[in-house]
Amino acid sequence: MAQAWWQRGVVYQIYPRSFMDSNGDGLGDLRGIASKLDYLKWLGLDALWLSPIFPSPMADFGYDVSNYVDIYPPFGNLDDFDHLLAAVHQRDLKLILDLVPNHTSNHHEWFIESRSSRDNPKRDWYIWRDAQPDGSPPNNWLSYFGGPSWTWDETTGQYYLHSFLAEQPDLNYRNPEVKKAIADSIRFWLKRGVDGFRVDVIDRMIKDEQLRDNPLNPDWVEGRDNPTWKYLRVYSENQPGVHDLIQELRQVFEEFKDRVMIGEIAYSTDPTLITGFYGTDEAPEIHLPFNFALLMLPWQAEAVRSFVDLYEASLPADGWANYVLGNHDQMRIGTRIGLEQARVAAMLILTLRGTPFIYYGEELGLRDVDIPPHLYQDPQGINLGISRDPQRTPMHWDNSPNAGFTTGEPWLPLSPDYPVLNVVSEQADPTSMLMFYHTLLGLRRYTPALHAGSYRSVESPEGTFVYVREHAGKQYLIALNFWNVGRALTLPGRGKVILSTHMDRGDAVAELHLRANEGVVVELIG
């Protein structure tokens, strides 16, 4: 069967605040993104996913939506959006938006109505409960961003539930009107021509009906561990009923042709937790339930190989894999494993079987930027000291002031290495990270075995991960050295190295000598 675009292609995540500022206010915007499409096309991508662009008070930088069917004014307006979408499609790229249905902003008119009185028709759109007799919250659930999941509301004398900030009240998906309102918001964008959505915390949209207390986490240690993990989220995540809800949402996508639904589910290295969200032929769920395992596993060849093998084995027959190396919530890969291994990681996700997700700036080798606590903007940094600002800093376009991102004052400081690590300088250096990504993306695109072929891992020396991708009789072997010492391996035949992470070899070999931190793609010849 022919592959869908979201199976064949590579998705690039843009954090709109930090991509390109067209009007000098220090914030990226839609016109800025539109001005960089030729770069993204040149790089070799297929689809762009924009983190939320909807009106928002920005308590959680757009993950607190106050209107699902409009644009955050500093980013532009609906005309700018239509212009961007047309320009994306003109280049044969796809555009994916970010839907945040679990919660709205407390400034959303639905919540303003809901909190206005106990008998307001939208009261039940959110989760309101009485205090316990001693005045404490209805249960012991904790917000992911610190403190209880419940906030007392004076006006009506009840608590409301919020899995994240108090500014992000959770919607009540046991109410059919809420489902319809969100479905209509999805339709609004899909009708406009949007190619799909990444759906935020989709596995948390339904809560235990009785709102039972979560049990204590036996591994949690006070003072050592993040306070938000004190209780196991047994009753507040992944509840029975969530699959029915996801199936209903999927049907909205099915009203349109060729759209994709990507779902953010809990970060896990247990492949069956991920593959449990594909649904079945009769009751399909998420096209691409996010696989975040590479962000969590120790960076060791054996750990990665055994995960990939297990994940491959647990995918349902027509379930399509995906791999993520970075996003706006996680430390950048170059910071976590170093830039040499970041090339190995790029070769890994761009040669595995499944849709790769690339976070903006990874192609330049951007690393986390040190943001002093007094400049923290992220509520998770302010409340819990675990700031996500370091991975959200502006993109580096050139070596002019502020890396060409803005003519104004950037909303977050830039990395001091931008005069060297930027698009223009790296395009001029044939072995830069950018040229490596560009070459690798081209190789994946024009090699059917790499985007469509089968996968099988091969026994290999410790510290290496070796696998073969095969399509229509053509075989490619990928050999990745996770160690910083050389490793030798014997090929299952003769081969020709067609790309190295070091970008300096193209030799025919029978014995393969991998240098320290080297990955290679080898075309096997008979």
Q: Using an 8 Å Cβ cutoff, are 275 and 330 in contact?
A: no
Give 180's contacts (C-beta < 8 A, 6+ positions apart).
Answer: none
Question: Order of strands, edge to edge, in the sheet holding 128-129?
Answer: 128-129, 158-161, 150-153
Residue closer to ligand GLC, measured from CB, 49 or 465: 49
Residue closer to ligand GLC, measured from CB, 169 or 519: 169
Give the span between the Cα atoms of 395 and 526, in whole angstroms: 44
For residues 301 to 330, the per-residue mask of contacts with ligand GLC, x marking binding by CB under 6 A and - elsewhere, is: ---------------------------xx-
For residues 71 to 100, the per-residue mask of contacts with ligand GLC, x marking binding by CB under 6 A and - elsewhere, is: -----------------------------x
CA 158 remoteness from chain centre: 35
Does residue number 201 form part of the binding site for ligand GLC (CB under 6 A)? yes
Does residue number 290 form part of the binding site for ligand GLC (CB under 6 A)? no
Geometric angle at alpha carbon 512, from 509 and 516, rounded to 5°: 135
Residue closer to ligand GLC, measured from CB, 66 or 481: 66
Does residue number 63 form part of the binding site for ligand GLC (CB under 6 A)? yes
165: three-class secondary structure by DSSP: coil
In the set 21, 80, 195, 200, which binds ligand GLC (CB under 6 A)? 200
Plot region of 450 (φ>0 → left; ψ -120 to 50 → alpha; else → beta): alpha
How many positions of this chain bind ligand GLC (CB under 6 A)? 9
Query: What is the closest distance, in whole angstroms, from the C-beta atom of residue 163 to ligand GLC in the complex?
Result: 8
Does residue number 237 form part of the binding site for ligand GLC (CB under 6 A)? no
Residues 155-174 touching ligand GLC, rule: CB under 6 A, are 164
443: three-class secondary structure by DSSP: helix
Residue closer to ligand GLC, measured from CB, 110 or 418: 110
Query: What is the closest distance, in whole angstroms, from the C-beta atom of residue 264 to ligand GLC in the complex?
Result: 6
For residues 249 to 288, the per-residue mask of contacts with ligand GLC, x marking binding by CB under 6 A and - elsewhere, is: ---------------x------------------------
Geometric angle at alpha carbon 491, from 458 and 498, rounded to 5°: 100
Give the span between the Cα atoms of 184 and 248, in whole angstroms: 12
Give the span between the Cα atoms of 324 and 359, in whole angstroms: 8
Cα atoms in the 13 Å half-sphere on the side-chain side of 338: 7
Query: What is the closest distance, in whole angstroms, from the C-beta atom of residue 296 to ligand GLC in the complex?
Result: 14
Cite the active site residues. 200, 255
Does residue number 350 form part of the binding site for ligand GLC (CB under 6 A)? no
Q: How far is CA 89 from CA 52, 94, 189, 297, 455, in A?
A: 20, 6, 15, 36, 31
Residue with tokens 């769920």: 285
Residue closer to ligand GLC, measured from CB, 102 or 139: 102
Q: How far is CA 220 from CA 148, 149, 237, 350, in A?
A: 17, 19, 18, 37
Query: What is the closest distance, in whole angstroms, from the C-beta atom of residue 378 to ligand GLC in the complex?
Result: 8
Residue closer to ligand GLC, measured from CB, 201 or 293: 201
Q: Using an 8 Å Cβ cutoff, are 330 and 391 in contact?
A: yes
309: three-class secondary structure by DSSP: helix
Cα atoms in the 13 Å half-sphere on the side-chain side of 81: 22
Query: What is the closest distance, in whole angstroms, from the C-beta atom of residue 263 to ligand GLC in the complex?
Result: 11
Query: What is the closest distance, in whole angstroms, from the C-beta atom of residue 362 to ligand GLC in the complex?
Result: 17
Residue closer to ligand GLC, measured from CB, 200 or 285: 200
Q: Which residue is nearest to ligand GLC (CB)?
A: 63
In the set 60, 170, 195, 426, which binds ligand GLC (CB under 6 A)? 60
Query: What is the closest distance, in whole angstroms, from the C-beta atom of residue 51 to ligand GLC in the complex?
Result: 8
- Using CB under 6 A as the criterion, which residues of the chain lie in contact with ligand GLC when the complex forms? 60, 63, 100, 164, 200-201, 264, 328-329
